[in-house]
A and B are shown apart, each in its own frame.
Chain A
Amino acid sequence: MSAPDSGLIDVLGKTFPFPKRHFLSVLDLNPVEVTDLLNLADGFVALNRQTSKKLDLLKGRTLMNLFFENSTRTQSSFELAGKRLGADVVNMSPRASSISKGETLIDTAVTLNAMQPDLLVVRHASSGAASLLSQKVSCSVINAGDGQHEHPTQALLDALSMRRAFGRIAGLRVAICGDVLHSRVARSNVGLLQMMGAEVRLVGPPTLMPAEADRWGSEVFHDLRKGIAGCDVVMMLRLQLERMDGVLAPSQREYFRFFGLDREKLACAAPHVRVMHPGPMNRGVEIDSEVADDLAVSLIQDQVEMGVAARMAVLAALSARLDND
């Protein structure tokens, strides 16, 4: 290992072995594992800020990015994470290549599995796709977003951002606002934040709220001001524009008026509130630029930085498990 700082080695020593083979859902984790991963990620944040960012923890390992849905940021985040840990990284975009033509997901997985990757990072438009894939391959599978189900590394990086901003997660009051219905980010965040002792609220119009979301252990609000009242963190979700054309909301301007986050509405939150967004943002739709770009309030840039570190932590943990196999 090429000179990581001593704290990191310490954390690595304590964390391993990580008991899971795959990283599919936050519900597979327990608070101790989450804390270990966050501690590890903290170490990687420090590493990433050094001039020499590279370790050889994953030397000889192959990480394959398999993105059935396009996502430049998540894919590059995983790519950087893999490379900084010394892995060989291959990016596959089945949609653009011949891999998926007439082939089922399983066929694709079996084909790629035959190339002996160690870590397979998967994004797919169908809920449960990563889990399905994990049953058919011999490597570790990391869920980088499956349909409307989960995006666990996003929840981990969000938790990391919050912990670094507030020094804790337990007791934080977090409002997750917007299109909860279609959001895998929301589902993973609800699971992980509740597990770590935060109070989670869900805010959005009824058309964008899943049925019986009130049974997720979160209070549901249909009024943004009331929903974010006294909140430490306001997490805005992306709303796809085509869903706002009279389908699930009457129009963009009406949506922004009632559910878009601007300075005036943000004043309802706690004075020290921090604003988050998983990106990419629709400025002027779900969030006003004035809020998004205010570095005193916005954690959005931090989230991107934490993304690489959190993913390094997941890769490092899983590969340690591989070493033990």
Chain B
Amino acid sequence: MASRPLAILNARLVDPASGQDERGALLVKNGKIADLVFGGELGTLSDDIETLDARGAMLSPGLIDLRVKTGEPGAEPKETLKSAALAAAAGGVTSIVVQPDTSPVVDDPSVVDFILRRARDIELVHVYPAGAATKGLLGERMAEIGLMRDAGCVYVTDADHPIVNSKVFRRLLAYARSFGVLVAHRPADPWLSAGAAATEGELAGRMGLPSVPPIAEKIMLERDLALVELTGGRLLVDQITTACALESLERGKARGLDVTATTSINHLSFNEVDIGDYRTFCKVDPPLRGEDDRQATIEALATGLIDIVVSAHAPAPAEDKRLPYDEAAPGAVGLQTLLPALLAFHHEGRIPLIDLMAKVTSRPAALLGLPAGRLAKGAPADLVLCDLAAPMVVELADLKSKSKNSPFDGRRLQGVVRMTLVDGRIVYRRD
């Protein structure tokens, strides 16, 4: 449906790509940003243009979330592509990268095709599949990286499964490089982290939970960085969460390696103490860290050492969460809370708004070479309008995901999404 052109007036335009953060107005036409003016007005608008007074709310590129799990295909009662897309739209997220650890695994171009077709039919947000790095996520044989790239995969990853065999990982980096494909890898030593439900330390010890020392992240990251150096490959460090691994990352970047790092909003917002009386909604993978690690992660976000923030959206239904802690499924839904949770660092005065927004818009867009993620004439009209200061209480009933496993349950946050546009279509509007 060709919608009427929409002029959004009196907005705070935040465009990390150009570094501009000013009052202004923006015109959406034919799915694109047809015009925008920082620090001024759009001029005379013809009668067929619908206008919206933003009343000073932030208008920024829609969020791009590089790590989202749904249950489709294979576990639709958990989450479908549609329910995840609805959650994304309500959270101001206009592009999601879905993980390959579905059933069947996304290790074949036909599954990539299936997901893209489903996403087209749903017509809400952009859905980009990540392909499996190895067949069946087994870490043994490379998946069809080239074919999956051509089918539409934006990077390859084995999701939560560490690729243990260094020879496999080396070949993967080298092979993927020749196709210009990015390899994402979760840094976790498989033996130290096997069976862990918490981060090793005084608290996990007292609670009697099987735990993993933070150093497990560094051990695997050091190997990965060494292999990137050897192969010249491109690595996306999937969720860095510890101070010790950040040191390694800093050195790797200083050596000029093609390395980009993400962290999750959960690890920025919570620490191990939030587990409290065995709250399984706070069981995530990697497990929540100590406060020192959380502070180091926030600091690395502020300095730019960490490039991107992901929601790490991982739906788990009640029956998988209402279990004893070590038996409960890890993961937290996060698409709808990513933006307000991230804004906390703006409200605290810790990280400038434009820098925060870069982590979820221009940086991921640049990494994947997406046309979105910026406010510019001719760019796709993927936009979020957000009342930065508006308070909200996270209520599970308000979550669009089929699974309601949010550690933010009951949390007070600031930043309410008023409207989300994808290719100029309004996919979410709060009245």
Contact = CB atoms under 8 A, between A and B. Distances in A.
Contacts of B206: 187, 210, 216
Contacts of A91: none
Contact of A149 (B201, B207, B319): B207
Given A131-B277, A131-B278, A211-B213, A104 B322 contact: yes
Contacts of B326: 126-127, 147
A128 B200 CA distance: 17
Contacts of A132: 278, 322-325
B40 interface: no
B325 A126 contact: yes
Nearest to B199: A211
Contact of A148 (B201, B208, B278, B322): B208
B41 interface: no
B327 interface: yes
Interface string B305-338: 0000000000000010011111100000000000
Given A147-B208, A148-B208, A150-B208, A124 B324 contact: yes
A210 B278 CA distance: 18
A131 B166 CA distance: 42
A161 B72 CA distance: 58
B354 interface: no
B209 interface: yes
Given A132-B278, A148-B208, A150-B208, A127 B324 contact: yes
A210 B205 contact: yes
A185 B129 CA distance: 49
Contact of A129 (B201, B205, B319, B324): B324
Interface in A209-232: 210-213, 215-216
Contacts of B205: 210-213, 216
A215 B202 contact: yes
A104 B323 contact: yes
A132 B325 CA distance: 9
A149 B202 contact: no
B242 interface: no
A148 B278 CA distance: 13
B323 A105 contact: yes
Nearest to B200: A211
A210 B204 CA distance: 9
Contacts of A150: 208
A128 B213 contact: no
Contact of B208 (A105, A149, A211): A149
A215 B202 CA distance: 7
Given A128-B278, A216-B202, A187 B208 contact: yes
B211 interface: yes
A106 B324 CA distance: 9
Contacts of B278: 127-128, 131-132
A21 interface: no
B368 to A, nearest CB: 39
Nearest to B319: A104
Contacts of B319: 104
A184 interface: yes
A211 B323 contact: no
Interface in A198-217: 210-213, 215-216
Centre residue among B213, B319, B325 by max chain A CB count within 10 A: B325
A126 B325 CA distance: 7
B324 A212 contact: no
Contacts of A211: 200-202, 204-205, 211, 213
A229 to B, nearest CB: 25
A127 B323 contact: no
Centre residue among A128, A129, A149, A215 by max chain B CB count within 10 A: A128
Contacts of A128: 207, 209, 277-278, 324-325
A314 B318 CA distance: 33
Contacts of B201: 211-212
Interface in A111-127: 124, 126-127
Contacts of A216: 202, 205-206
Contact of B324 (A126, A184, A210): A126
B227 to A, nearest CB: 29
A127 B208 contact: yes
Contacts of A104: 319, 322-323
Interface of A: 104-106, 124, 126-129, 131-132, 146-150, 184, 187, 210-213, 215-216
Given A132-B278, A216-B202, 11 more contacts: A126-B326, A127-B208, A127-B324, A128-B277, A128-B325, A132-B324, A147-B208, A187-B208, A211-B205, A211-B211, A212-B205
7 contacts: A104-B319, A126-B323, A127-B326, A128-B278, A132-B322, A212-B201, A213-B205
Q: Which 7 A-B pairs have the closest CB atoms?
A: A126-B324, A128-B278, A148-B208, A210-B205, A149-B208, A127-B208, A212-B202
Interface of B: 200-202, 204-209, 211, 213, 277-278, 319, 322-327
